[in-house]
A and B are shown apart, each in its own frame.
Chain A
Amino acid sequence: RKEVEQDPGPFNVPEGATVAFNCTYSNSASQSFFWYRQDCRKEPKLLMSVYSSGNEDGRFTAQLNRASQYISLLIRDSKLSDSATYLCVVNTPSGGSYIPTFGRGTSLIVHP
């Protein structure tokens, strides 16, 4: 089982739609969770951190469920510019440190 798993998609949605992605992780000792977006093989850019209490940034809402070991990202009122690959990142224990472990990403295509 992979440490961090995401549905690769693509999710194909019309403008204005609401779309949600999930990401599961296998190591219950993981700490710190993030969502990044990556455009066309460019560098990943931080979208938001994810907290147990849930957090919102404009049209984006992220949630962490430690009991079920998954994190989610909800995008409301999708824009064409939201088209990208969304990467889930989990800081996973490795030796005495934590290593950011990336999911393979979920592709989102927003069409007119």
Chain B
Amino acid sequence: NAGVMQNPRHLVRRRGQEARLRCSPMKGHSHVYWYRQLPEEGLKFMVYLQKENIIDESGMPKERFSAEFPKEGPSILRIQQVVRGDSAAYFCASSPGQGNQPQHFGDGTRLSIL
């Protein structure tokens, strides 16, 4: 499967724990985007990364959330000290570049906070 790969598909954490979500972009794609979708809500942009660089993190909460896209390996979205309100579906998308190229999405990670 050469698509965008996200894991885990489902993640359960207790309040105060850390959650790590991983995303491997499609082959040949160097741009990665993370989105959050709350129940009955639309997709909300969080962060846009290229290899080793955060391009735009205007949608990401300033505290507890961080993202990286290292030179080797998948992109990681990290949520520290999770709270109930972090429960959501987190989608990753990738594209080959900016401009008029569409994104392709992974299956998402469903995060549940107990």
Chain A residues with CB under 8 Å of chain B are 31-32, 34, 41-46, 49, 87, 89, 91, 94-95, 97-105
- Known interface pairs A94-B58, A97-B56, A100-B33; A46-B102 also in contact (CB < 8 Å): yes
User: How many Å lie between the Cα of A99 and that of B93 in the bound state?
Assistant: 12
Q: Which residues of A contact B35 (CB under 8 A)?
A: 102
Residues of B whose CB lies within 8 Å of any CB of A are: 33, 35, 37, 41-45, 48, 55-56, 58-59, 89, 91, 93, 98-108
Residue of A nearest to B35 (CB): A102
B79 to chain A, nearest CB (A): 20
Q: Chain A interface secondary structure, helix, strand, loop or mixed?
A: strand
| 9 A-B pairs with the lowest CB-CB distances in the bound complex, closest first | A104-B42, A43-B105, A32-B100, A102-B43, A46-B102, A34-B102, A44-B105, A97-B55, A43-B107
Question: B91 to A98, Cβ gap below 8 A?
Answer: no
Besides A31-B100, A46-B103, 20 other A-B contacts (C-beta < 8 A): A32-B100, A32-B102, A41-B89, A43-B91, A43-B107, A43-B108, A44-B91, A45-B105, A46-B102, A46-B104, A87-B42, A94-B56, A97-B55, A97-B56, A99-B45, A99-B58, A102-B42, A102-B44, A102-B45, A105-B42
* Total A-B residue contacts, Cβ distance less than 8 Å: 59
Q: 11 A-B pairs, CB-CB below 8 angstroms?
A: A42-B108, A43-B107, A44-B91, A46-B103, A89-B102, A94-B56, A97-B98, A100-B45, A102-B35, A102-B42, A103-B42
Query: Quick one: which of B42, B99, B107 contacts A42, CB cutoff 8 A?
Result: B107
Q: Smallest distance from the beta carbon of B62 to chain A beta carbons, Å?
A: 16
